[in-house]
Amino acid sequence: MEKIEITLTINDKLREVSVAPNDTLLEVLREKFDLTGSKESCGEGVCGSCTIQMDGKPVRSCLTLALEADGCRIKTVEGLANGDQLSDLQESFINHGAVQCGFCTPGMLISADALLQNNPKPDEKTVRKTLAGNICRCTGYAKIVDAVCHTGNPDNQCPDCKTGQ
């Protein structure tokens, strides 16, 4: 089983790496590039904590071979913030208390970010449908959904939100 050279554009940086055929993209991101934001929980595509964006589309990195991602643009949760400046979505998660244990958060952010890029003002139903593949065992989802909705519609009245206070 030979190692194969692949090229990935990870969070806008061109990277080269040699991978084995049975390395998943998640393993490469975490172990070779130290991008440990994406998490492995179930390892079988059910929970969504390993979600990353491949060419702008949210996919499960635990069920994607690194070789299959050769030449693709990859965006992980580390790519959302601009240096120390968090993205609006990340700020909104904080302001709404949408993070508890935080294990699902990277996946939630990446799924929500992919939605907001295509649909900047999603309604609650769309947000719930889009995040249906990401499981959270702490928050009960309400605050996460609020946080995503509020990012797209910042003028909405939102009783729980600390934004603008």
Sites of contact with another protein (CB under 8 A): 1, 4, 20-24, 27, 43-46, 48, 51, 54, 57-60, 63-65, 67-68, 107, 111, 114, 129-130, 132-135
From the CB of 83, what's the least distance to another protein, in Å?
27
Alpha-carbon 31 to chain mean position: 18
From the CB of 70, what's the least distance to another protein, in Å?
8
Which of residues 51 and 95 has its CB atom nearest to another protein in the complex? 51
Which of residues 23 and 146 has its CB atom nearest to another protein in the complex? 23
Q: H helices of the chain, where?
A: 25-27, 88-95, 105-118, 124-130, 142-152
Which of residues 71 and 159 has its CB atom nearest to another protein in the complex? 71
- Starting at the edge strand found earlier in the chain, the sheet holding 51-54 runs 13-19, 4-10, 73-75, 51-54, 57-60
From the CB of 155, what's the least distance to another protein, in Å?
27
From the CB of 45, what's the least distance to another protein, in Å?
6
Non-local CB neighbours of 150 within 8 Å, separated by 6+ positions = 92, 95, 96, 156, 158, 161, 163
Which of residues 62 and 158 has its CB atom nearest to another protein in the complex? 62
Q: Which tokens is 105 given? A: 């958060």
